[in-house]
Amino acid sequence: MADTEPVPDEMPAAVLTGFGGPEVLELRRVPLPVPAEGEVLVRVAAAAVNNTDVWTRQGAYGLPGRPDALAGWRGPVDFPRIQGGDIAGTVARVGEGVGAEWTGRRVLVDPAIYDGPSGDANPVGLLGSERDGGFAEYVVVRGERIHDMDESPLTDEELACLPVAYGTATGMLERGGIVADETVLVTGASGGVGLAAVQLATARGARVVALTAPGKDQLLLEAGASAVVHRHSDSAVVSAAVSEAAPSGLDAVIDVVGGPLLPVLLTHVTDGGRWVIAGGIGGPEIDFDLRRLYLHNISLIGSSMHTPAQFARLAEDAVAGRVRPRIASRYGLSAIHDAQEAFTRSKHIGKIVLTPS
Ligand SMILES: NC(=O)c1ccc[n+]([C@@H]2O[C@H](COP(=O)([O-])OP(=O)(O)OC[C@H]3O[C@@H](n4cnc5c(N)ncnc54)[C@H](OP(=O)(O)O)[C@@H]3O)[C@@H](O)[C@H]2O)c1
């Protein structure tokens, strides 16, 4: 290991000890991780909170055929596990085989663990779930997963907002083939992934219809949405509002909500349209009319995170300053429980960020 800046022997970390309530997330001092060959040690400057942290703690992902089973997004989680998939920081040390020039550089970490080395590999793991993450003072990551941010105009806190939410949104837009002049409906539009999708689809020149709870219109219009439609328990009310906002129909839906509205919204998708689904916060199990898909050549596209190439595109956007995430609030690492509670109250707009140091 190349010797660089002095590092402590141990560090504070938010450690998940099992599935359960806030009490299973413990603040502890743990030994400093050591980078092996091909890895780097990153001093975490900022780490953002995501829905996946909460669902992983709760074991809320279920298993195939057993929706109520306690499980992480890939099934079992190997406890104890340090949470946190959104990491921006500085390389403190490099392991064998990683260039010494990385030391001291500001980096954005791609939190995905892939099933192969190619640019279009599939994500099959996530820092904070299948490997220790960034809710700690330091984290060890693979050298090929760090992206140089020395030239980025974004702050460390802004960078930390990007990997999971903007990475997932980038993956959805890429898999859905969203291009300029298309009309795209984004659900959960004020949430982490949704707001990222509104901004990124707008940056591509798409016309965005944002579906959200009442009271968030101004934020979504500022983020680039052309029209805002409110969630409502009566799906006919939502359907009428979508008709008004997009009279020629929807070329695509970027959806993290699913639930009972999906079959209704599907009737607004034009022939050859795409439905990209990356979450089921409004209900993961639904009924819909298959004829709506095949008679209209609509593609239903499952989307999990991003590929290495898609993340590299996001990193380029960050260096060029083409994305500017919104920070809702900041907490110290010791206030992780308050941060997750604030996240689950869902009153925030933008990302909740932890500063471990
Ligand atoms: N597949 C992947 O790779 C991936 C990656 C990240 C996240 N996800 C999933 O995507 C979903 C959103 O994640 P996130 O981090 O963006 O979460 P988030 O920040 O909590 O945002 C979720 C948004 O969905 C809306 N919402 C919440 N409860 C709802 C309900 N019962 N019915 C309808 N809408 C509701 C709210 O937005 P409005 O008020 O604007 O409607 C909320 O802000 C989660 O299910 C998460 O697990 C998937």
Phi-psi region of 274 (alpha: psi -120 to 50; beta: other; left: phi over 0): beta
Query: In the structure encoding, which two tokens stand for residue 129, read together?
Result: 């779930």
- Asked if residue 3 has pLDDT above 70, the reply is no
Phi, psi at 40, each rounded to 5°: -130, 155
The enclosing H or E element of 141 equals strand 138-142
- Asked if residue 301 has pLDDT above 50, the reply is yes
Q: What is the sign of the dihedral through the CA atoms of 115, 117, 118 and 120?
A: positive
Closest-lying ligand 1 atom to the alpha carbon of residue 189: 40
Average pLDDT over residues 64-77: 93
3-state helix, strand, coil in the chain (%, to 5): 30, 30, 40
Residues in the chain: 357
pLDDT band at 1; cut points 50, 70, 90: very low
| pLDDT tens digits, 46-63 | 999 999 999 999 999 999
Closest-lying ligand 1 atom to the alpha carbon of residue 348: 43
| pLDDT tens digits, 201-251 | 999 999 999 999 999 999 999 999 999 999 999 999 999 999 999 999 999
> Ligand 1, residues 58, 126, 187, 193: which to mutate, most atoms within 8 A of Cβ?
193
| pLDDT tens digits, 86-114 | 999 999 999 999 999 999 999 999 999 99
What integer pLDDT is reported at residue 2 of this predicted model? 45
pLDDT band at 64; cut points 50, 70, 90: confident
What integer pLDDT is reported at residue 4 of this predicted model? 63
List, chain by chain if needed, residues with CB within 6 Å of any ligand 1 atom: 50-52, 55, 164-165, 168, 188-194, 212-213, 216, 231, 256-257, 259, 278-282, 304-305, 346
Q: Whole-number mean pLDDT of the chain?
A: 96
Closest-lying ligand 1 atom to the alpha carbon of residue 187: 41
Across 165-220, the runs of DSSP E, i.e. the strands, are 183-186, 207-212
Q: What letter does residue 144 receive in the DSSP assignment?
A: G
What integer pLDDT is reported at residue 215 of this predicted model? 92
CA distance 252 to 312: 24
